[in-house]
Structure 1
Amino acid sequence: MEILDWRFKAVPDRAWGKTAAEFLADRPALEDLGTPLLTLDAAALEHNLRTMADWCTAAGVDLAPHGKTTMAPALWQRQLDAGARGITLATLAQLRVARAFGVDRVHLANALLDPAGLRWLAAELDAAPAFSFTCWADSVRTVDLLREAYPGSRPLDVCVELGAQDGRTGARTLDEALAVARAVCAAPRLRLAGVSGYEGALKSTHAIETYLRTMVVLHDRLRADGLLEVPDAIVTAGGSAHFDTVVRELAPVRDSGTRVLLRSGAYLIHDDGYYRTVSPLPLRSAMHGWARVISRPEPSLALLDGGKRDFPYDEGLPEPQRVRGGGELTGARVTALNDQHTFLRDADVRVGDVVRLGLSHPCTAFDKWNLIPVVDDAHAPDPQVVDLVRTFF
C-alpha cells in the first residue's frame, strides 16, 4: 500500500509515513491541509454518478466514460460499478494504466500505430481472454500499418472513424470511410467493430446533427454490405456537451441490434465553468480550488497563492465563491493567473483568508494533482476529508 510523503503536495507533513487509510483515520479537516489545493466533493460525485447512470439506462444506451478526464482508477471503478460498459482512453500510456488496475474493457478513442505498443497490446489480449479492446482507424494507410504491426492471435477490433469538415480526425467522406471499413474486413487479424466519431469539435448544432446523421448512414451501408456482422457492434460518439443530441440522432442504429456507446467523461466531476453552461443534465460541480490570500498590495487587488500550476485556465478563469468559514464573495472576480498567483479583484478579503474557487474544465484540473482530497461537503464551514483519490498522468 502506498505511503504518503513529500511527493503529494495535497497532504500535510503530519501524514508522511502513513497510508491513506491511516491518515483518514485521524479524521483530518480541510483546514489541516495546505494551500493551494484541489478538492472533490463526495456528495456531488455521488449525485453526478447516479444522474448519468440513470439517464443512460432510461435512454437505452451504453456508457464508456473517458478515463483521461481524471486518470483516477478509483473513480473509474465507481463508474464501472454504476453500470458503465467500459472505460475510454486516448493513448498507449493511459491504456497501460488501465491494464495495471485490471480494467477489462477499454475503448481507445484514437488510432494506435506504435509498433512496440501493438506488440504489448497483442500480448495482453492473448494472455487475458476477458480483456476487450477497440481502437479507431480513419484511413486505409492506418489499416495497413495496423495489419503489418499487430502480431496477436486474437483479432484486433477496429472502428472506422468518420469525421467532418473542420472537425478533428476521421475520414471526411462516406466513400473514404467505406474504403477503410473494407480494408479492415480484408485484414487477417483485424475485425470491424463499428463506427466511431467525435462531434465536439463542430461549431453549430446543425453541423453536429448533420454529422451524426451521416454516421447513421455509414452504419446502415456497412450493415447492408454485410461488413458489420460482429456481435455487439457499436456506433460511438458523445463528448460531455452534446450527448443528448448524440442519443437522439443515433437512435435508429439500435433497430439492427447495434449498441449506441457514449464516451462522455467530464460528467462525473462537472464544473463551475464551461460544462455548467452546456451540460444537458442537472449535474453539480464536484471540484473546487482553495487558495490563501498572501498579499493586498492595492485596495481592490488581492493575490492568492495558487496559479496555473494548480488550477485549470484553458476554458475560463477560476470563479471566486466564498471565504472558507466565512461568507460569499459577491462581485469578486479573477482577472489573471500567473504560475503561482491568482489576481483577485474587488473581494472583501484579508491576508490569511482562504478562498474557495469554482473551476472550469476538469480535464486540465486533475493533471496538476497526483493525490486529491475528497471532502464531505465543500459548502460546509469546516469541511472534513473523507477520502483521497490517486491520479496517474
Structure 2
Amino acid sequence: MGNGIDDRAVDAQRTERLDWRFKAIPATAHGMTAEEYLGGRPPLDEFGTPLLTLDASALDHNVRLMADWTERAGVRLAPHGKTTMAPALWRRQLDAGAWGVTLANLPQLRVARAFGVRRLLLANALVDPAGLAWIGGQLDTDPDFTFISWVDSVRTAELMDEALRAARVQRAVHVCVELGGPHGRTGARDEETALAVAEAVRKAPSLRLAGLGGYEGALAHDATDEGRAAVDAYLRRLADLHGRLPYETDEPIVTAGGSSYFDQVAEVLSGLDGCEVVLRSGAYIVHDDGFYRQISPFARGADGERFRSAMHGWGRVVSRPEPALALLDTGKRDLPFDEGMPEPQLVCGAGPKAVSGARVTAMNDQHTFLEGGEVAVGDIVRLGLSHPCTAIDKWTLIPVVDDADAERPVVVDLIRTWF
C-alpha cells in the first residue's frame, strides 16, 4: 500500500468470474476469470454491441501528462474518483503521484475504503449521523487513514459535532470551510459567513479546521472571456479568505480545480503561503470528444501536448428505414448524451473507414438516430463521446483496447467500476 491503495484488493478484481452480470462481456467468456479471458488476447470484434471501450495508450498518456503538469505547476492532485469509480484507474493515478482521491458522497467513500484508499477528500458536506459514525470508526481503527470533508454553515458544523460525539469517535474529523459563489452549488456565499463557520468548527471538540475548499466550475461553463473572468474573481476570493482562516493543522490545504479551469486555479493559488494547493480534476484521465475537448486548458493552449479521448462507443446498424436514416443498437442506457450527442467517427464493415457526412440527431433508450453517411445494416459505427462522468456509470465492466484506431483492436484489460 505504498501508493495509498490496497494493491491486493485491486488485483483481486481480475479473479472475478465473468458472466451475464456484465453486459459488455460475450457469452464465450462466461465462467472464466477476467485474467484467464485476457490471457487469450481477445479481439474486440468478439464483443457484441452496444459497447463502451477505453483506450490503453490514451489513458497512460493522460495520466502522465497531468502528473507532469501538476509537478511543474507546484500543486497536488487528488483526482475526483467519482468520474470513473474504478479502483484500478485510481491506482494508476496514485502510482503517478496523486496526493489522494476525491469523492462526492458516502457510498463512494465506502467503495474507496473497501479498496484501502488511505487519503480521501470528500468534496461535500457529511451530516448523516450513521455515515459520520462509520467514517469515525474508519479513523479510529486505522491510524494511517486521512479524511477531510467540507462544511459551509454553522449548522453543518454543529450537526457533525453532535453526531461524532454521540458515536464516541476518538479522532477529530478534519474539515475545510467551503466558499461558494452566486448561483453556484454548495458553499458559504460570503466571507463573513465562511469566517463564522470556521469559528463554529473551532468550538466543536470533534472537528479540526484543516483547509479551505471550493469549486470554480459551478460558476462558468465555457472558455469565454466572461466565463474565465468569473473563475478568476472567485479564485481571488478564495486566496484572500485563506489568509483570514484560523487553521488548526500545520499543513492546511486549499482545494479547487475541476477539469476545465485547473490552469487558472494553479495560476491564482499556487503562490499562497503556508498551505498545499490541491486540484480535484477527475475527467482528464478519460477526457472526451466533446465538452472537455473544447474547454480543457490544454485544448485552449496554442502549443504543447493535449489530452486524448480514451473512450469510444460502438453501435451496430440494425435498421435503414429511410434513405438518409440509420438506427444503431445503442442508446441513452449505454452512452452519454447530457453534454452533446455522440460523434460518428468510423464505420467498421469490410474494414474501418472514416464516416463522412453523418451526424447523430437523437437518442432513445436503446437506439441512436444516425442521419447521412454510407452505412449498411450490420455495420458497426465507432462514436466519439462527450462527458466521461455519464458514460462510465452505465457500465460495470469496461473493455480496454490496445488501440481503438487499429484495424482489429485487441482487448488488453477489463476495468471494473463500482457505481
TM-score, normalized by the shorter chain, greater than 0.5: yes
**C-alpha separation in 2, matches of 1:368 and 1:177:** 37
Does the Cα contact within 8 Å between 1:216 and 1:252 map onto a contact in 2?
A: no
1:290 pairs, out of 303, 314, 319, with 314
Structure 1 runs of 4+ with >4 Å offset: none
**C-alpha separation in 2, matches of 1:273 and 1:109:** 25
**C-alpha separation in 2, matches of 1:234 and 1:339:** 43
Determine what percentage of the aligned residue pairs are the same residue. Answer: 65
**C-alpha separation in 1, matches of 2:369 and 2:51:** 16
Q: What is the Cα deviation at residue 382 of structure 1?
A: 0.4
- Residue 322, structure 1, aligned to residue 355, structure 2: no
CA deviation map 1:290-327 (0-9, x unaligned): 00000011111000000000000000000000112321
CA deviation map 1:169-218 (0-9, x unaligned): 10011000000011111111100011000010113212111111000111
Q: What is the Cα deviation at residue 247 of structure 1?
A: 0.7
User: Which amino acid letter does the alignment assign opposite residue 357 of structure 1?
Assistant: L
- Residue 353, structure 1, aligned to residue 379, structure 2: yes
**C-alpha separation in 2, matches of 1:164 and 1:122:** 30
Which residue number corresponds to residue 42 of structure 1? 56
Which residue number corresponds to residue 108 of structure 1? 122
Instruction: Please give the root-mean-square deviation of Cα atoms over the aligned residues, in Å.
Output: 0.7
Within 5 Å, which residues of 2 pair with 1:264-303?
Answer: 264-281=281-298, 282-303=306-327
- Residue 334, structure 1, aligned to residue 353, structure 2: no
Which residue number corresponds to residue 306 of structure 1? 330
Does the Cα contact within 8 Å between 2:208 and 2:248 map onto a contact in 1?
A: no
Unaligned runs of 5+ in 1: none
CA deviation map 1:199-248 (0-9, x unaligned): 101132121111110001110111xxxx1141221000001100001111
User: Which amino acid letter does the alignment assign opposite residue 383 of structure 2?
Assistant: L
**C-alpha separation in 1, matches of 2:121 and 2:96:** 18
CA deviation map 1:238-269 (0-9, x unaligned): 0110000111111231xx22000000000000
Which residue number corresponds to residue 239 of structure 1? 258
Q: May I ask how many residue pairs the two structures share in their alignment?
A: 387
**C-alpha separation in 2, matches of 1:234 and 1:124:** 22
2:42 alignment partner, SS class = coil
Q: TM-score, normalised by structure 2?
A: 0.92
Q: What is the Cα deviation at residue 17 of structure 1?
A: 0.5
Which residue number corresponds to residue 83 of structure 1? 97
1:327 alignment partner, SS class = strand
2:49 alignment partner, SS class = coil
Q: TM-score, normalised by structure 1?
A: 0.98
Which residue number corresponds to residue 416 of structure 2? 390
- Residue 57, structure 1, aligned to residue 71, structure 2: yes
Does the Cα contact within 8 Å between 1:156 and 1:191 map onto a contact in 2?
A: yes
